[in-house]
Chains A and B, each alone.
Chain A
Amino acid sequence: MTRLSGGLIDRDRTIAFTFDGRAYRGHPGDTLASALLANGVRLVGRSFKYHRPRGIFAAGSEEPNALVELRDGARREPNTRATMAELFDGLTATSQNHVGPLNFDLLAVNDLLSPFFAAGFYYKTFMWPRAFWEKLYEPAIRRAAGLGRLAEAADPDAYDKGFLHCDLLVIGAGAAGLAAALTAGRAGARVVLADEDFRLGGRLLAESDLLDDAPAVDWVAAAEAELRAMPNVRVLARTTVFGVFDHGVYGAVERVADHLPDPGQGVRQTLWRITARRAVLAAGATERHIPFANNDRPGVMLAGAMRAYANRWAAAPGTGGPVTVFTNGDDGHRTALDLAARGVPVAAVIDTRADAVAQGDYRLIAGGMVSDSKGRLGLTSVEVTANGRREWINCAALGVSGGWNPNVHLASHHRGRPVWDAGSNAFLPGAGGPVGLVPAGACVGQGSTAQALADGARKAAETLADLGIAAGQPDLPKAEDRSTAAAAFWHVPGRKRAWVDHQNDVTVKDIALSHQENMRSVEHLKRWTTLGMATDQGKTSNVTALAVMAELTGKGIAETGTTIYRPPYTGVSLGVLGGGDSGAHFRPRRLTPTHHWAAAQSAVFVEVGQWMRAQYFPQPGETHWRQSVDREALAVRAGVGLCDVTTLGKIDVQGADAGEFLNRIYANMIATLKVGMTRYGLMLREDGTAYDDGTCARLAEDHFIVTTTTANAGPVFRNMEFARQCLWPELDVQLISTTDAWAQIAVAGPKSRALLDRIVDGFDLSNAAFPFMACASLTVCGGLRARLFRISFSGELAYEIAVPARYGHALMARLMEAGADLGVTPYGTETLAVLRIEKGHAAGAELNGQTTATMLGLGRMVSARKDSIGAVMSRRAGLAEDRRRLVGLVPVDPAQKVVAGAHLFTEGAAQDTANDHGWVTSACFSPHLGHSIGLGFLEDGDQRLGEVIVAANPVEGQSVRLRVASAHFVDPEGGRQRD
């Protein structure tokens, strides 16, 4: 154990966990990383490319090395940063990305072969022989690549989404964030304070400095208590604001239950969409390292992280052995002082500055640098070069401090580029940042505690003033105010490999090679070397890398520039982004008014967009859907059938100009429609293509009911509103969608009149009184208001009856009861399709947005006597010249099938794109005719009736000879529906 005294852990309780199968103990307040360090574990993983042994490098979300598979089974969570995983009882973690045991990874051979794996090597080889890429090279690369393993089963946990609105979002609850939140909270503003850590305080928790002469955690605790007590403030710990979107919308993930063994009845994580009028970005800063030869060994870590482990978690780095610190500024000295104060032996502080001064009782090597290291699975010694002399110093850990990079990430999510500040040797948020986002504290270079507190409070007050909210300045505690500036010392020169990006194994040499090969722009550098593209997104490496590139080009860092950061700030689970809308709940289910009735009849349902519709109604003894469908279709043609057609769009159109309006919406004439009559209507898109069809019924001079196809119910209504509001606002017309308000049932078949006669309230259904295409408002079943349309999709005598949706179920039941002796038969969408194909009515497969009225045989419907949407463009040459026409198709051999999706060819013609004459749009077995039939578009189809053609279906290895026929297989004269 290398546990120190003190720290913010609860020693009264012990937590058992395992890493790579070995049992360890930690305490509440530990992360997996701190607990591993406290247990003396240094080797925790392997690097991506060279499989180099790696240890814990950082103490926060910037960690590049210590990635583990957390939990197991269906909850296995690959690539989890040990530094972010809060310890819970029974936690299991497994190291990843190695073959064989962690301390003897067979793929470490890659490290020996590393000269062959220089930046971009794979673009230059594996090209011969050609077929070997997919068969040999790539599979080997893929097996070796990747990091952790995905779970093998579905994620068992639930996720939630929520919306928050506030005046001020404060991102980060360190010194600056707490000061900002207190300022805003006390001013009465609505505040959301979010921090990725499970404990508020940020770096205040990691430092030993006092606030108002008391431990900083006391002030943090008081601030937190005050904030949590305010009704206008919402504190979200374990919450990462991962992205800044337009107009003050921020994405955040709250890890609600990741610190628990399992979420129980709750959710694992919540995705918050936070709409904030303003935000203060108090994201702090991330320490950078200084590359030197073999600087990636377990035991080498950021000096500030070392300090955090000692102060906050009471964990000594390096199994309690002596520690060295390598720094280019005063910050490294703080680490030495804190470690020494906690009893950790400090072997030396190596400061690159020749004029550095020791700040305590430790050995200082000024003007020196660490130039190499030893220790296969953990650091044993470092080589120090100073004043021309080299010296090996034994140590178990090395803290590296290269200065601090402000966490500008969110400030560049709108592609604003950070700007180089030569004074602090750091990139600061630049122009073009998100509107309303104000950086404060260390992320804008105000990195001392005193600066951060003051800046946070000031920025909050200024920001609220913009909103007209007056905020006073809080009394801030007395705090340390040391400089965090570092010298411009970026890497230790040398011939050996010095790591810049630890996870992706990008070294200073790789950057030099990139420069040599003219991959010099920062974006080319990133893409050629993969620098900054690992799970840490280059948090500890990017700035260092481009400083190295700037040195190589001689251009300076400001001119070299930087890549920009993209969301998410840290990895966000895919599950929480999907929220609860997964599995069977992916999309809402819309149920028809007769759904439960149909379910009780054992109907089989089918997804039709969001709707669930009855597909067919199997009866006892029917073992194949075709038996059910054939029975239903024959029953309609011989007797009477019922089908719920509620899903068809219904649009109520009223107003003095309703007729004129619809005249402009439909290609055909509507204004002349008589009251009490219905007309088939065809709509075009403005580009002249056929769009949608349906019926238009005129219930009164100024009242029409438009029906649309199921799929286009929404779009047609939207387009009609567009026409009403934008194109012809002067017309007196109002629209409302009534699709869900009315249940509509098709009553089809020669006995449909007889059936309806039994439920109407004294309404004359005779052909003379209520002819084909008539419509009426009436009452049925003793006073239930209804609408009746004598329209037919099947070609039979048929009606559609509509009643208020809540009576749909009852109406269906009543019709079934009333028609029992007539053999009334419910039918589903399959039979609906069979009946309409037999009748030659176009549906979605024909009206697919690529066809014209003329192709559909409806060219004459496009009235030339009036303007309507699409009329002008339908006359374009290309549309007029299209010779494909809708035809019926019958197999020459009645035993064969017509298959939708087959392509049509002249018999004997070569079957290729050039000779393609059309395709089969719809097909079915016609029980009425006793053989398969189909509809299709055929080149000059109207001229080819009787011709035998070939339907080629090579994707299923079929080819069938078909005879071209009229599309109207049943009653082409239309007598049945009219009589």
Chain B
Amino acid sequence: MTFSGFRVIREALTGHKGWTPLWRDPDPQPSYDIVIVGGGGHGLATAYHLAAVFGQARVAVLEKGYLGSGNIGRNTTIIRSNYLLPGNQPFYEFSMKLWERMEQDLNFNAMVSQRGILNLLHTDAQRDAYRRRGNAMLLSGADAELLDQAGVRRMYPWLNFDNARFPIKGGLLQRRAGTARHDGVAWGYARAADQRGVDIIQNCEVTGFRIEGGRVLGVETTRGYIGAGKVGVAAAGSSSRVMALAGLRLPIESHVLQAFVSEGLKPVIDGVITFGAGHFYVSQSDKGGLVFGGDIDGYNSYAQRGNLPVFEDVLEGGMALMPRIGRARLLRAWGGVMDMSMDGSPIIDRTPVEGLYLNAGWCYGGFKATPASGYAFAHLLATDTPHETATAYRLDRFARGHVIDEKGVGATPNLH
């Protein structure tokens, strides 16, 4: 079925009888050419690109819960390509270009909304750093603008300019950045992959790998053994758990990141704003909720929930920056498990086990990478060569000394 405004009108007039399931619920087949472990955003995007771009017909996605149950449905929906380092920026810009055509590719409105991201700066040193970053963005073909304080005031005159501990001195703006409806991305990829023959198997947890002679043959699951020519793992916060089943240790720790949404409000914030002197970023959803967050809790966790000090820390930043939000209410807080890597950048690579591939280490930034991650992982799985924008995301970069450390904090995952 093709979605369109016309279709919506026709169904509305005929009692919605024609809508069909968004995807099938197939039983697993005995084997597939490629099995993707993880039915979140990255896994589904990988499956979609395998089928749509690389002509792979026999692909399955195994998801231990319901599809889209991980970080794809728990993030703060920001998309952007405002990175500094050459290992990252071209990849995220590739991702941005895929976001820009996603709805047409998928025939699904994921509500990609390019309303801009503004990173506020508060010191001269920050301005220098953002100038360097803005230039890196422009040099990679992305867009960037460096605003002075007046420029920020024009966009958001009600920010705290006059009573601030760390006065706003300007900001780095990427207008093409913005947000997308997180669940919609998962559903759009799932539906498009399903339409192209991918089997999405929910409630199917991988419990082991069958490995012989250093080569993976398939996966043991709660729904039986499934043979596979290749296995791609895109398990985000569970990456270490899954790869441990194959005997591998990763340069990754799992940490909880909390996110927050306020009750619905009439629109006040058009784009995304990040506070450069505290741990706070915010946007406003189409429904009207302020969607915001801050730092990870900072300790290893698989609990998908966090603690009270982060609520306070985030809102101290929020109130310092936007004192008018004080009487709005927090509606909901939740947590996701982040695969925090040792340099803050991801891994899309083969592993020492032949036929076993890894897509992990997205830290708290995996959402914006979803399309490019899926594309690049599909590229690697299908061709055994890395996509041109993802050549730096090697698993051995730590040993070789080629880390991609945007923050410059080293092998301390909770600081990335």
Q: Do chains A and B touch in the complex (CB under 8 A)?
A: yes
A572 B5 Cβ-Cβ under 8 A: no
A902 B135 Cβ-Cβ under 8 A: yes
* CB interface residues, B 86-116, toward A, < 8 Å: 86, 89-90, 100-101, 103-104, 107-115
In the complex, chain B residues whose CB is within 8 Å of the CB of A150: 265-266, 268, 324-325, 327-328
* CB interface residues, A 35-51, toward B, < 8 Å: 48
B189 within 8 A of A: no
B397 A146 Cβ-Cβ under 8 A: no
In the complex, chain A residues whose CB is within 8 Å of the CB of B24: 518
A124 B7 Cβ-Cβ under 8 A: yes
In the complex, chain A residues whose CB is within 8 Å of the CB of B115: 134
B288 A535 Cβ-Cβ under 8 A: no
- Give the complex CA separation of A138 and B397 in angstroms: 42
Chain B CB within 10 Å, residue with most, of A75, A147, A271, A528: A147
Picked from B144, B165, B323, B324, the residue with its CB within 8 Å of the CB of A589 is: B165
User: Given the known A-B contacts A143-B267, A849-B407, A955-B135, are A578 and B320 also in contact in the complex, defined by CB atoms under 8 Å?
Assistant: yes
- Give the complex CA separation of A689 and B409 in angstroms: 9
B249 within 8 A of A: no
B8 within 8 A of A: yes
User: Given the known A-B contacts A142-B267, A517-B22, A575-B326, are A955 and B331 also in contact in the complex, defined by CB atoms under 8 Å?
Assistant: no
A145 B308 Cβ-Cβ under 8 A: no
B128 A922 Cβ-Cβ under 8 A: yes
Contact with A along B8-31 (1 / 0, CB 8 A): 110111001001111111000000
User: Given the known A-B contacts A118-B12, A913-B136, are A955 and B145 also in contact in the complex, defined by CB atoms under 8 Å?
Assistant: yes
Chain A CB within 10 Å, residue with most, of B123, B263, B326, B407: B326
Q: How far is the CB of B245 from chain A (nearest CB, A)?
A: 23
B149 within 8 A of A: no
B296 within 8 A of A: no
In the complex, chain A residues whose CB is within 8 Å of the CB of B187: 123
A231 within 8 A of B: no
In the complex, chain A residues whose CB is within 8 Å of the CB of B134: 901, 955
A567 within 8 A of B: yes
* CB interface residues, B 367-416, toward A, < 8 Å: 397, 399-403, 405, 407-411
In the complex, chain A residues whose CB is within 8 Å of the CB of B334: 566
A127 B4 Cβ-Cβ under 8 A: yes
B223 within 8 A of A: no
A559 within 8 A of B: no
Picked from B129, B286, B320, B329, the residue with its CB within 8 Å of the CB of A142 is: B286
- Give the complex CA separation of A154 and B325 in angstroms: 8
- Count B-side interface residues using an 8 Å CB cutoff: 122
A573 B135 Cβ-Cβ under 8 A: no
User: Given the known A-B contacts A133-B111, A523-B69, A579-B312, are A916 and B8 also in contact in the complex, defined by CB atoms under 8 Å?
Assistant: no
In the complex, chain B residues whose CB is within 8 Å of the CB of A126: 5, 109
Nearest B residue to A829 via CB reads B124
A878 B131 Cβ-Cβ under 8 A: no
Nearest A residue to B66 via CB reads A521
B329 A79 Cβ-Cβ under 8 A: yes
- Give the complex CA separation of A523 and B135 in angstroms: 42
Q: How far is the CB of B65 from chain A (nearest CB, A)?
A: 8
In the complex, chain B residues whose CB is within 8 Å of the CB of A161: 312
In the complex, chain B residues whose CB is within 8 Å of the CB of A956: 131, 146
A758 within 8 A of B: no
Q: How far is the CB of B187 from chain A (nearest CB, A)?
A: 7
Contact with A along B66-90 (1 / 0, CB 8 A): 1011000100000000000010011
A850 B405 Cβ-Cβ under 8 A: yes
B160 A568 Cβ-Cβ under 8 A: no
User: Given the known A-B contacts A535-B263, A584-B165, A586-B317, are A124 and B22 also in contact in the complex, defined by CB atoms under 8 Å?
Assistant: no
B262 within 8 A of A: yes
Nearest B residue to A572 via CB reads B330
B318 within 8 A of A: yes
A573 B109 Cβ-Cβ under 8 A: no
Q: How far is the CB of B66 from chain A (nearest CB, A)?
A: 4
Nearest B residue to A159 via CB reads B326
Stretch at the interface among A244-252, A288-296, A422-430, A813-821: A244-252
A147 B308 Cβ-Cβ under 8 A: no
In the complex, chain B residues whose CB is within 8 Å of the CB of A873: 401
B265 A912 Cβ-Cβ under 8 A: no
* CB interface residues, A 601-646, toward B, < 8 Å: 606-608
Q: How far is the CB of B386 from chain A (nearest CB, A)?
A: 16
A841 within 8 A of B: no
A845 within 8 A of B: yes
A916 B263 Cβ-Cβ under 8 A: no
User: Given the known A-B contacts A161-B312, A517-B19, A955-B145, are A688 and B401 also in contact in the complex, defined by CB atoms under 8 Å?
Assistant: yes
Q: How far is the CB of B145 from chain A (nearest CB, A)?
A: 7
- Give the complex CA separation of A509 and B330 in angstroms: 30
In the complex, chain B residues whose CB is within 8 Å of the CB of A879: 401
Chain A CB within 10 Å, residue with most, of B73, B320, B334, B410: B410
B305 within 8 A of A: yes
In the complex, chain B residues whose CB is within 8 Å of the CB of A145: 264, 267, 286-288
Q: How far is the CB of A116 from chain B (nearest CB, A)?
A: 4
In the complex, chain A residues whose CB is within 8 Å of the CB of B333: 243, 566-568
A127 B401 Cβ-Cβ under 8 A: no
User: Given the known A-B contacts A127-B104, A955-B146, are A121 and B165 also in contact in the complex, defined by CB atoms under 8 Å?
Assistant: no
B339 within 8 A of A: no
In the complex, chain B residues whose CB is within 8 Å of the CB of A608: 123
A155 B324 Cβ-Cβ under 8 A: yes
B166 within 8 A of A: yes
In the complex, chain A residues whose CB is within 8 Å of the CB of B22: 517-519
Q: How far is the CB of A668 from chain B (nearest CB, A)?
A: 20
B140 within 8 A of A: yes
B278 within 8 A of A: yes
In the complex, chain A residues whose CB is within 8 Å of the CB of B188: 123
A149 within 8 A of B: yes
In the complex, chain A residues whose CB is within 8 Å of the CB of B144: 955
Contact with B along A358-379 (1 / 0, CB 8 A): 0000000000000000000000
In the complex, chain B residues whose CB is within 8 Å of the CB of A271: 312
User: Given the known A-B contacts A146-B265, A686-B411, are A518 and B286 also in contact in the complex, defined by CB atoms under 8 Å?
Assistant: no
- Give the complex CA separation of A608 and B123 in angstroms: 8
- Give the complex CA separation of A161 and B316 in angstroms: 12
A919 within 8 A of B: yes
User: Given the known A-B contacts A122-B111, A517-B20, A586-B166, are A954 and B266 also in contact in the complex, defined by CB atoms under 8 Å?
Assistant: no
B324 A153 Cβ-Cβ under 8 A: yes
Picked from B107, B305, B315, B320, the residue with its CB within 8 Å of the CB of A127 is: B107
B332 A537 Cβ-Cβ under 8 A: yes
User: Given the known A-B contacts A146-B267, A146-B288, A607-B122, are A78 and B328 also in contact in the complex, defined by CB atoms under 8 Å?
Assistant: yes
A566 B332 Cβ-Cβ under 8 A: yes
Chain B CB within 10 Å, residue with most, of A77, A126, A150, A581: A150
Contact with A along B255-290 (1 / 0, CB 8 A): 000000011111110000000011000001011100
Nearest A residue to B329 via CB reads A571
User: Given the known A-B contacts A246-B307, A574-B262, A880-B401, are A581 and B329 also in contact in the complex, defined by CB atoms under 8 Å?
Assistant: no
30 A-B pairs whose Cβ atoms sit less than 8 Å apart in the complex? A76-B327, A123-B184, A124-B8, A125-B5, A128-B4, A128-B5, A134-B113, A134-B114, A145-B264, A146-B264, A147-B263, A154-B163, A249-B308, A273-B308, A516-B16, A517-B19, A518-B21, A574-B318, A575-B327, A581-B320, A584-B165, A589-B165, A686-B411, A687-B403, A689-B405, A689-B408, A845-B129, A878-B402, A900-B131, A919-B135
**Extra pairs beyond A126-B5, A249-B307 (5, CB < 8 Å):** A76-B327, A79-B329, A154-B323, A566-B305, A876-B399
7 nearest interchain CB pairs? Answer: A849-B408, A878-B401, A901-B131, A155-B326, A146-B288, A575-B326, A571-B329
Interface residues of A (CB under 8 A from B): 48, 74-79, 115-116, 118, 121-128, 130, 133-134, 138, 141-143, 145-155, 157, 159, 161, 243, 245-246, 249, 251, 271, 273, 413-415, 509, 513, 516-519, 521, 523-524, 527-528, 530, 533-535, 537, 566-568, 571-575, 577-579, 581-587, 589, 606-608, 685-689, 691, 844-845, 848-850, 873, 876-881, 899-903, 911-913, 916, 919-922, 952-956
